Structure 1
Amino acid sequence: MTAGPGADRSESFGEALLGAVLDGAHELPPHLVGPLFADVVERLGGRRPQVLLQDYGQLLLVPLRGEGLTDGDPQDIDASAAGRCFLDAQRVEVPEDGGVRVYLPLLDGGDQVGVMAVTLNRVDDDDRRLLGRLSGLVADLLVTKHGYSDLFFSARRGEEMTVAAEIQWSLLPPLAMIMPRVAVAGILEPAYNVAGDSFDYALNGDILHVAMIDAMGHGLGAATMATVAIGAYRHARRLGTGLSEIYAAMDEAVGQQFGPDHFVTAQMMRLDTATGRVHLVNAGHPPPILVRDHRVLGRLDAPTTLPVGLGGAEPEVSELELERGDRVLCFTDGLIEEHAVGEEQFGEDQLIDAVNRLERTGRGVRAVARSLSHTLMRARGGQTTDDATLLLVEWRG
């Protein structure tokens, strides 16, 4: 749009402030993202700037180090103002001596990168507007620059990661996506030792494509098999094929690469975000759970075919209609089959009870998925001998 001849095109303070970030963003080295943010905060009259990144275990918010940034101890997501901002994806303001500490979510497509924090002497609506826009720019910079450097990966690690887990994390899409019609959130446990579990999703136009897999075994072999399965899934999906053809492509890839004694259980789903209609193929995987009106309605039992890699027949594609606000919980068997020595398995009933308790809080899918995974991990005594992965999909209508 062309400005009229009488329009004021002079640069305002806010435009100059944010423009300082945008002007050099394309050639900004990753390690200078934090210092650039600190410089902008200083020009705004703020102090103690922090960028807090979520650790891989989704337990802590870890300060990013850099010139001009405030260091400090990691903050507990479940017991801090920064954590409240992170979980609810909302600005949080906390009075402190000599000013107000402001926490803002660093959001990218609904995925929560972390939290931005700054202290101001006082906060008005102009400050809130500028800080909100600045947080959006900082989030985008963190996402676009992380592929060029190990800096942000290293900051998020709370402990040593296995090679298998390294492969799995590099394979994953963002852990969350929040859009007007649909929301997705997933989590993997154990975060630093995961191997055979993985998930994938893509929103192509009105259609949300979702897959969850569990490769047999553990360690590097399982991670390699999961990589082949997800790669075959993406290749077939991007060709525009249906779920039956996607299953066949995954089955052929895993079978040819690993032989008849290896397999991957899988679940592939397509959700029409305009209508709520779901098409589902289950290849030896635990059936998903349907949550309606914040309570588990039941399992989505459907005909199942052999896991991919075993040469199963053409799968039967199941259909169902979701109602606005419905959530579908997909999970791997490690979530319910863990048990202490000599005791019963954790079981699906405990899973359903945990879902019902958390759904009553009315929180978004990202917070519920995270809390559910950690609740179940605590119930298993903080240990798991198998990967335990879940993916929560909400049709928002």
Structure 2
Amino acid sequence: MSDHPVPIGALLRAAAPDRLPEVIAEHLRRHFAAEQVEVLVADLALRQFAPLLGPPGADTDPAALRCLGSQQPATTTGPAGARLHLPLSCWGERLGVLRVDLPGRPDTEQADQLRLVADELAVALRAADRMTDRYRKAQCLQRLTMAAELQWDLLPGRSLGDERFLLAGQLEPAYEVRGDHFDWALAGDRLTLTVLNGAGEGMDAALLTATAVNAMRNARRCGADLVEQAELASDALHSRYGGGLHAATLLLEIDLVGGWVDAVDAGSPHCMIGRGGEISQVRLEQQLPLGMFGEARYEIERFRLEPGDRLLVVSDGVHAAAPGGGTTFGESALFTALRRTRLQPATEAVGTVMRGLREFHAGSEPEDDAVTVCLDWRR
């Protein structure tokens, strides 16, 4: 290894946005004697990977999947050398895994430097995503519907976190979502979270949700509180659709210091709290869905989280799912699925709930798209 390698951050910033994997591979070969390098990008469903340097196709490397889930580096050694799996994460957003084969096990200093390389690559990939289609194309292992394309492009990410909290969301079916959506934004000690279920099908539902999300963002970015966000979005939808289409929405603003949550319940998403092994539903006064009537007015309710609490929000595609017209998932299997997540981080918990939902459908085609969002408040 060279004593003074060129800082990888500088190399990545100087590179074309679509050439970041090649820059990383060359850096690792030159300065760490890497024998093989692969940048694995997680697919939209976070169940498999797409290699950016190797032949195209799905990669289901079990060690890489464990690394993605645990967010911890892992090293395995054998006669041929050492294989490292390093998580590619940026502000809590899990992008994929960097896989590196070395002639031998790295020492402590080298391992630290390799983790830094992975961190720099993750930030660069996140920044480059808007400048090239290469990474988004790799994420999509099948073609998206136009509605799904719009919804995924509108998302803030799939996870977010720091020492105070970990937040994650998942949309399914990943390649055919319509009007279900989630949004979030962090500003100091305030975290805003919204979960939406736009009425209708296909592009009609996606465009409805896009209008609502952007109206709430517009209000939020001008300093508006939850009531003003809900009312502006409702007015925008009613002006466009005349009450014919609406968006059931739950708006939350979490105080990351005191745990107080301001809430506007404008429709069907359900909110639950996991505390000490028990799960209970937060009972809120359900107000009118956004856009149902002109000049609708909304009120804020409050509840409080305790340190270590888990907050879960699911759309009606989760809690009201009833394949064959039978018992709903919310009535029979949702709380069982949630209990399975007790020892998992939020980023894994959303996948566990969605797997439970798929099992509940038992092979039948879901009639609705679905959102699960999970927040762990660490304080």
Q: Percent identity?
A: 28
Alpha-carbon distance in 2 for matches of 1:198, 1:175: 11
Deviations 1:180-216 (A, max 9, x none): 1122100000100001011111110110011111000
Alpha-carbon distance in 2 for matches of 1:293, 1:25: 44
Alpha-carbon distance in 2 for matches of 1:294, 1:38: 45
Indicate whether 1:154 and 2:148 are aligned: no
* 1:31 alignment counterpart: 18
Alpha-carbon distance in 2 for matches of 1:190, 1:267: 21
The residue type equivalent to 2:110 in the other structure is: D
* 2:77 alignment counterpart: 95
* 1:7 alignment counterpart: none
The residue type equivalent to 2:12 in the other structure is: A
Structure 2 CA distance for partners of 1:18 and 1:89, relative to 1, 3 Å: farther
| Aligned residue among 133, 150, 155 for 2:116 | 133
Contact 2:234-2:296 at 8 Å conserved across structures: no
* 2:347 alignment counterpart: 366
Alpha-carbon distance in 2 for matches of 1:301, 1:18: 56
Indicate whether 1:17 and 2:5 are aligned: yes
Indicate whether 1:268 and 2:251 are aligned: yes
The residue type equivalent to 2:199 in the other structure is: M
Indicate whether 1:110 and 2:103 are aligned: no
Q: How many Å apart are 1:263 and its aligned residue? A: 0.7
Q: How many Å apart are 1:97 and its aligned residue? A: 3.3
Q: How many Å apart are 1:146 and its aligned residue? A: 1.5
* 1:170 alignment counterpart: 153
* 2:35 alignment counterpart: 47
1:1-397 to structure 2, matched below 5 A, reads 13=2, 16-19=4-7, 21-43=8-30, 44-65=32-53, 70-71=54-55, 74-76=58-60, 80-123=62-105, 124-296=107-279, 298-311=280-293, 313-341=296-324, 343-359=326-342, 362-382=343-363, 383-397=365-379
Q: How many Å apart are 1:344 and its aligned residue? A: 3.0
Contact 1:335-1:388 at 8 Å conserved across structures: yes
Q: How many Å apart are 1:363 and its aligned residue? A: 1.9
Structure 2 CA distance for partners of 1:183 and 1:342, relative to 1, 3 Å: closer
Q: How many Å apart are 1:30 and its aligned residue? A: 2.5
Alpha-carbon distance in 1 for matches of 2:211, 2:325: 36
The residue type equivalent to 1:125 in the other structure is: T
Alpha-carbon distance in 1 for matches of 2:277, 2:214: 34
Q: How many Å apart are 1:313 and its aligned residue? A: 4.3
SS at match of 1:240: coil
Deviations 1:263-306 (A, max 9, x none): 1100000101011111111001233011112431x110111111
Structure 2 CA distance for partners of 1:234 and 1:348, relative to 1, 3 Å: farther
Structure 2 CA distance for partners of 1:348 and 1:289, relative to 1, 3 Å: farther
Q: TM-score, normalised to structure 2's length? A: 0.95
Greater CA drift, 376-385 or 163-172: 376-385
Q: How many Å apart are 1:346 and its aligned residue? A: 2.6
Q: State the aligned residue count.
A: 375
Deviations 1:3-59 (A, max 9, x none): xxxxxxxxx946x3351x333433411332111111111121111101000001221
Alpha-carbon distance in 2 for matches of 1:96, 1:192: 39
Q: How many Å apart are 1:342 and its aligned residue? A: 5.2
Greater CA drift, 50-59 or 368-377: 368-377
SS at match of 2:111: helix
* Aligned-residue CA RMSD (Å): 1.7
Alpha-carbon distance in 2 for matches of 1:294, 1:100: 40
The residue type equivalent to 2:178 in the other structure is: A
The residue type equivalent to 1:374 in the other structure is: R
Alpha-carbon distance in 2 for matches of 1:342, 1:269: 31
Contact 1:176-1:366 at 8 Å conserved across structures: yes
Q: How many Å apart are 1:72 and its aligned residue? A: 7.3
Q: How many Å apart are 1:352 and its aligned residue? A: 0.7
The residue type equivalent to 2:322 in the other structure is: H
Alpha-carbon distance in 2 for matches of 1:321, 1:313: 26
Q: How many Å apart are 1:364 and its aligned residue? A: 1.0
Q: Once superposed, which parts of structure 1, at least 4 consecutive aligned residues long, lie more than 2 Å away?
A: 21-27, 70-77, 311-316, 336-349
* 1:4 alignment counterpart: none
Structure 2 CA distance for partners of 1:317 and 1:168, relative to 1, 3 Å: same
Contact 1:103-1:115 at 8 Å conserved across structures: yes
The residue type equivalent to 1:141 in the other structure is: A
Q: Structure 1: where are the runs of 5+ without partners? A: 1-11
SS at match of 2:5: helix
SS at match of 1:211: strand
Q: How many Å apart are 1:358 and its aligned residue? A: 2.1
Q: TM-score, normalised to structure 1's length? A: 0.90
